């Protein structure tokens, strides 16, 4: 395990010792060491594995597939109740015991189960899996040798989904206050107590579950509820009643996956029987979050015969597939630590290549199952991005051929302060190398070496258009025209002047334009440049590409028409599965011909013509770790709540938007104005019902705010010293937030060792090779860990209890001065910077105090923090502008 100065080695007799960096790296590279989480340990030791390691997480994934656990030594040890302390040091000696328990568990599997596992265990042992011999020993050797394909064929034996008639449309029976009170009392149960604020909140929420009176005028409630009001149960009371009375059509939406999990846990109070709960409530994510069995089969066929880590990863994935209830690769039970040997994008349906009923796994497909379940379930737990993506498709009939208005939906948007950003991303457009390559692949299939994998239009449509000569001509035209799109590896060709079609010529001209006009200040961030004035070369390239895109859109549209005609003419003879497939194929073609390509064409046209004042366009070179990874033209709505209100909110019958951070009390006389501007409620025909509910917490006693006056922030040593001493004073449980990746890394480098000496683990975004969700899970699991991060971590951390007791900002989190932000500030006014910054501070502060017993300190290491920015924080919280020494002493004594 990573430790101060190297790694902590645990021995079979329960003793431990510290190995220096060199010894630790040598041991790691030898492969003869038992570890937990190869990618994480490799990152900490700043090395890469020379050969496969004995990773206990892999054994866990084999023995307990799809069982959620935190992917660390501590997480595994805890799964066996072997580590009662929260420090990783306590876990190191018990990793070996955890592995022994797992092997013991495997030996005790029922005989039929062990027999079933033998071919897979044999295959993995043969592929060089370090656990292979022990696992074979535990389950026994297979009587006869089966093929690798048979051992990995996890698609066999999965339960089939059942087709049912579409559910009836939801009715409009309203929910009353009295029944809401009773439901809330039932949800809280006898052990709890309904607080007045929570009851008032639940009653206010009933507004969104009344009967809509006018088309396009949903009943909207904007409810701000301070932390601790109990808003989840507060809105579950009326919304679950509405769902029971009216049928399917309730969508509960969150921004973070942690809140999604929390809602599912709360729903269990209503439906304690798991079978009933499965029927009543479904978690629904975007298609790209579910495993595609056909892609998995493709991966098996391409890799099964090659020994090595990819086969091991496929074997563990096969175990997970057989055990997973829903195929959700972003869920808690997915072995995400395998990503370094097998990228998850290879086994999901990210590119819209699904062939529906023509797929041999259609009847057992995870995605098809969850889509069907969510159509029937009274309650769907989703996320903002999915709802916005669905709304964006509603122009063509949406999912199941119905628009949101036809489905008569009710939405509850929890974490409503993120709606603006979700809409900003969901309604934006990007004409770049990656997107062009994706469309090219969707049309032409895999080209070059990866020939077997991606299915192009030819393979997907061939049988559907057989005998239709005109459709055939247009299919050929579309395939030929798509050769003008940038392909895989375009960025390399742009940089090396080797472009080969209209798409790449356009991207190369953008690259020159941006390089010439943008200051290359920090290679860790992307570069951008305004589109005007436009050079002649770029203008000509844009014109060429526009004509090429039109040549792609035309045949796609004709093809969609041919499929629709076939559905019409052969209506009587089509099997339901065939109809679904034709419908999906036609929609896929229309989405590209009527939505994606026209959006790109309009962006190109406006480069040389009249600009649309609702949008801001800019050129960008996207960079990762100083490398150029993509180039393109971007377009965002200046006010993304315009499409949010017209496409998502207005078609619904009722909408509840709630958060602890909706209003900005400092932004004007009407402090609800900021909430309406950020949620799009001000664009609606009828005004929303608005109410706020104060937090029950005693911030004067539970929290402290410090503004440090004597830090030279640009001095990394001074900043690192401040973070180190603050974290030590808090005894861990600290979140350090940064506005710059470079500064984060420089602080991490300086404080990781001294914190480890003090027994505090430090995790860091942009340093540890882990995704943000895993990082937060690791941080949450240890009471005294510390974590450093930037924006994504600030928004994603939801850590109740003592695990989070100190939040420290390196500086005031002003918005980055991007071209998009400049346009928004011009639209919304000068107050916009302050508004965003106050809301960010308010949101981060809200993470600190989550219960009546929590205590927390909030520190900003910027002397010039304007007092007006603190106006969004609870006014009763004491604010101390002081030197760093005093802040450290105060933090220590307050959190003692």
Residues that bind ligand SF4 (CB under 6 A): 292-294, 349, 354-356, 359, 361-362, 365, 367-368
Q: Which is nearer to ligand SF4, 219 or 454 (CB)?
A: 454
Reported as type and span, the H/E element at residue 679 is helix 673-679
CB of 366 to ligand SF4, least distance (A): 7
- In our burial notation (b when 16+ CB lie closer than 10 A, e otherwise), range 620-653 reads bbbbeeeebebbbbbbbbbbbbebbbebbbbbbb
CB of 367 to ligand SF4, least distance (A): 5
Number of neighbouring beta carbons within 10 Å of residue 55: 25
Answer for the pair 560, 590: CB distance below 8 angstroms, yes or no.
Answer: yes
Q: Which is nearer to ligand SF4, 361 or 742 (CB)?
A: 361
Q: How far apart are the first and last CA of the chain?
A: 29
Nearest to 233 by CA among 274, 285, 268: 268
CB of 182 to ligand SF4, least distance (A): 43
Q: Which is nearer to ligand SF4, 125 or 294 (CB)?
A: 294
CB of 442 to ligand SF4, least distance (A): 14
CB of 326 to ligand SF4, least distance (A): 13
Dihedral of CA atoms 707, 712, 717, 722 in degrees, nearest 10, equals -10
CB of 390 to ligand SF4, least distance (A): 17
Q: Which is nearer to ligand SF4, 365 or 752 (CB)?
A: 365
CB of 277 to ligand SF4, least distance (A): 25
Residue 15: partners with Cβ closer than 8 Å, 6 or more residues away: 93
Q: What is the DSSP string of 813-835?
A: -PPP--HHHHHHHHHH-THHHHH
Nearest to 436 by CA among 504, 356, 369: 504
Nearest to 304 by CA among 459, 90, 153, 456: 153
CB of 155 to ligand SF4, least distance (A): 8
Q: Which is nearer to ligand SF4, 45 or 314 (CB)?
A: 314
CB of 444 to ligand SF4, least distance (A): 18
Q: Which is nearer to ligand SF4, 201 or 290 (CB)?
A: 290
Q: Which is nearer to ligand SF4, 204 or 344 (CB)?
A: 344
- CA dist 328 and 332 (Å) reads 9
Q: Which is nearer to ligand SF4, 9 or 364 (CB)?
A: 364
- CA dist 410 and 209 (Å) reads 8
The β-bridge partners of 223 are 658, 691
Q: Which is nearer to ligand SF4, 181 or 361 (CB)?
A: 361
Alpha-helical runs (H) found in 208-329: 231-246, 257-270, 274-280, 293-303, 309-323
Positive/negative CA dihedral, 693, 697, 701, 704: negative
Q: Walk across the sheet containing 16-20 and list its strands.
A: 2-3, 6-10, 16-20
Q: Which is nearer to ligand SF4, 357 or 746 (CB)?
A: 357
CB of 587 to ligand SF4, least distance (A): 14
CB of 95 to ligand SF4, least distance (A): 37
Q: What is the DSSP string of 429-483?
A: EEEEHHHHHHHHHHHH---GGGTTT---HHHHHTTTTTT-HHHHHHHHHHHHHGG
Cα atoms in the Cβ-side hemisphere of radius 13 Å centred on 662? 31
Alpha-helical runs (H) found in 292-432: 293-303, 309-323, 366-376, 384-393, 404-407, 419-426
Look up residue 166 and give its DSSP letter: P
Q: Which is nearer to ligand SF4, 366 or 809 (CB)?
A: 366
The β-bridge partners of 736 are 788, 808
Phi/psi region, residue 766 (left: phi>0; alpha: psi -120 to 50; beta: rest), is left
Q: Which is nearer to ligand SF4, 98 or 390 (CB)?
A: 390
CB of 161 to ligand SF4, least distance (A): 11
Q: Which is nearer to ligand SF4, 29 or 350 (CB)?
A: 350
Answer for the pair 767, 787: CB distance below 8 angstroms, yes or no.
Answer: no
Strands 219-225 and 654-659 turn out to be parallel
CB of 101 to ligand SF4, least distance (A): 35
State the Rg of the chain over Cα.
Answer: 28
CB of 290 to ligand SF4, least distance (A): 7
Alpha-helical runs (H) found in 449-575: 457-461, 469-481, 490-495, 502-517, 536-569
Cα atoms in the Cβ-side hemisphere of radius 13 Å centred on 851? 10
Q: Which is nearer to ligand SF4, 89 or 349 (CB)?
A: 349
Q: Which is nearer to ligand SF4, 353 or 664 (CB)?
A: 353
Tokens read off for 455: 């299915």
CB of 361 to ligand SF4, least distance (A): 4
- CA dist 66 and 327 (Å) reads 9
Q: Which is nearer to ligand SF4, 454 or 811 (CB)?
A: 454
Q: Which 3 state secondary structure label does DSSP give 594?
A: helix
Angle CA 590–592–593, to nearest 5: 60
Q: Which 3 state secondary structure label does DSSP give 521?
A: coil
Reported as type and span, the H/E element at residue 884 is helix 884-895
CB of 157 to ligand SF4, least distance (A): 15
- CA dist 169 and 409 (Å) reads 9
Centroid of chain to Cα 182: 36
The β-bridge partners of 624 are 627
CB of 288 to ligand SF4, least distance (A): 10
Q: Which is nearer to ligand SF4, 143 or 575 (CB)?
A: 575
Cα atoms in the Cβ-side hemisphere of radius 13 Å centred on 824? 24
Q: Which is nearer to ligand SF4, 245 or 351 (CB)?
A: 351
CB of 309 to ligand SF4, least distance (A): 24
């Amino acid at each position: 395990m990573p430790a101060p100065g190297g790694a902590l080695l645990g021995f079979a007799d329960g003793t431990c010792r510290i190995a220096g960096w060199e010894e630790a790296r040598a041991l790691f590279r030898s492969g003869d060491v038992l570890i937990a989480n190869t990618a994480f340990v490799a990152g900490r030791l700043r090395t890469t594995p020379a050969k496969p390691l004995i990773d206990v997480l892999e054994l866990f994934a084999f023995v307990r597939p799809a069982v959620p656990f935190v992917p660390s030594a501590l997480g595994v040890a805890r799964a066996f109740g072997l580590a009662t302390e929260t420090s990783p040091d306590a876990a190191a000696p018990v990793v070996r015991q955890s592995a022994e328990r797992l092997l013991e568990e495997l030996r005790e599997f029922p005989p039929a189960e062990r027999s079933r596992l033998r071919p897979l265990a044999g295959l993995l042992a043969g592929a060089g899996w370090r656990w292979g011999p022990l696992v074979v020993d535990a389950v026994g050797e297979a009587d006869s040798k089966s093929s690798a394909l048979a051992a990995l064929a996890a698609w066999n034996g999965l339960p089939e989904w059942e087709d049912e008639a579409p559910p009836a449309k939801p009715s409009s029976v309203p929910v009353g206050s009295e029944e809401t009170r009773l439901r809330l009392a039932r949800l809280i149960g006898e052990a709890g107590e309904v607080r007045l604020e929570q009851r008032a909140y639940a009653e206010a929420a009933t507004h969104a579950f009344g009967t809509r009176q006018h088309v396009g005028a949903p009943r909207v409630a904007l409810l701000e509820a301070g932390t601790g009001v109990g808003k989840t149960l507060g809105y579950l009371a009326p919304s679950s009643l509405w769902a029971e009375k009216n049928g399917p059509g309730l969508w509960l939406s969150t921004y973070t996956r942690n809140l999604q999990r929390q809602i599912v846990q709360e729903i269990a109070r209503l439906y304690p029987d798991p079978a009933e709960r499965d029927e009543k409530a479904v978690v629904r994510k975007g298609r790209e979050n579910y495993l595609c069995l056909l892609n998995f089969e493709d991966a098996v066929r391409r890799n099964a015969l090659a020994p090595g880590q990819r086969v091991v990863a496929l074997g563990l994935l096969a175990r997970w597939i057989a055990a997973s209830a829903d195929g959700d690769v972003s869920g808690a039970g997915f072995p995400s630590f395998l990503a370094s040997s097998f990228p998850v994008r290879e086994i999901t349906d990210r590119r819209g290549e699904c062939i529906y009923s023509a797929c041999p796994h259609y009847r057992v497909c995870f995605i098809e199952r969850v889509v069907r379940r969510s159509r029937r379930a009274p309650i769907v737990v989703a996320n903002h991005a999915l709802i916005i993506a669905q709304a964006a498709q509603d122009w063509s009939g949406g999912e199941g051929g119905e628009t949101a208005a036809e489905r008569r939906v009710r939405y509850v948007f929890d974490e409503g302060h993120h709606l603006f950003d979700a809409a900003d991303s969901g309604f934006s457009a990007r004409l770049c190398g990656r997107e062009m390559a994706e469309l090219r692949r969707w049309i032409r299939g895999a080209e070059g070496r990866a020939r077997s994998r991606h299915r192009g239009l030819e393979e997907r449509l061939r049988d559907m258009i057989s005998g239709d000569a005109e459709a055939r001509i247009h299919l050929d035209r579309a395939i030929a025209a798509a050769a003008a799109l940038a392909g895989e590896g375009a960025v390399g060709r742009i940089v090396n002047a080797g472009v080969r079609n209209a798409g790449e010529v356009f991207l190369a001209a953008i690259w020159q334009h941006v390089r010439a006009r943008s200051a290359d200040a920090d290679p860790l961030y992307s570069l951008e440049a305004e589109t005007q004035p436009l050079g002649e070369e770029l203008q000509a390239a844009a014109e060429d590409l526009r004509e090429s895109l039109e040549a792609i859109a035309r045949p796609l549209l004709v093809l969609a028409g041919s499929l629709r005609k076939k559905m019409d003419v052969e209506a009587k003879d089509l099997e339901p599965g065939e109809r679904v497939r034709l419908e999906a194929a036609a929609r896929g073609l229309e989405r590209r011909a009527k939505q994606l390509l026209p959006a790109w064409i309009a962006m190109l046209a406006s480069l040389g013509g009249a600009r649309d004042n609702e949008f801001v366009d800019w050129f960008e070179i996207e960079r990762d770790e100083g490398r150029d990874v993509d180039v393109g033209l971007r377009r965002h709505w200046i006010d993304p709540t315009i499409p949010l209100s017209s496409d998502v909110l207005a078609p619904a019958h009722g909408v509840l938007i709630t958060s602890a951070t909706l209003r900005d009390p400092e932004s004007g006389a009407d402090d609800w104005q900021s909430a309406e501007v950020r949620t799009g409620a001000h664009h609606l025909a009828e005004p929303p019902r608005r109410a706020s509910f104060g937090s029950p917490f005693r911030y004067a006693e539970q929290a402290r705010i410090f503004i440090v006056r004597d830090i030279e922030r640009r001095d990394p040593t001074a900043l690192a010293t401040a973070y180190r001493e603050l974290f030590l004073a808090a005894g861990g449980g600290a979140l350090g937030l940064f506005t710059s990746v470079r500064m984060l890394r420089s602080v991490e480098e300086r404080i990781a060792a001294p914190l480890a000496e003090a027994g505090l683990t430090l995790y860091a975004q942009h340093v540890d090779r882990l995704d943000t969700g895993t990082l937060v899970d690791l941080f949450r699991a240890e009471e005294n860990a510390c974590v450093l991060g930037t924006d994504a971590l600030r928004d994603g951390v939801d850590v109740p209890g003592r695990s989070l007791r100190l939040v420290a900002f390196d500086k005031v989190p002003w918005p980055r001065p991007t071209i998009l932000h400049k346009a928004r500030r011009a639209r919304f006014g000068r107050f916009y910077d302050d508004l965003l910054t106050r809301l960010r501070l308010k949101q981060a502060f809200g993470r600190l105090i989550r219960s009546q017993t929590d205590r927390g300190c909030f520190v900003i290491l910027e002397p010039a923090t304007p007092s007006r920015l603190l106006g969004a924080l609870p006014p009763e919280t004491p604010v101390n502008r002081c030197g760093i020494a005093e802040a450290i002493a105060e933090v220590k004594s307050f959190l003692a």
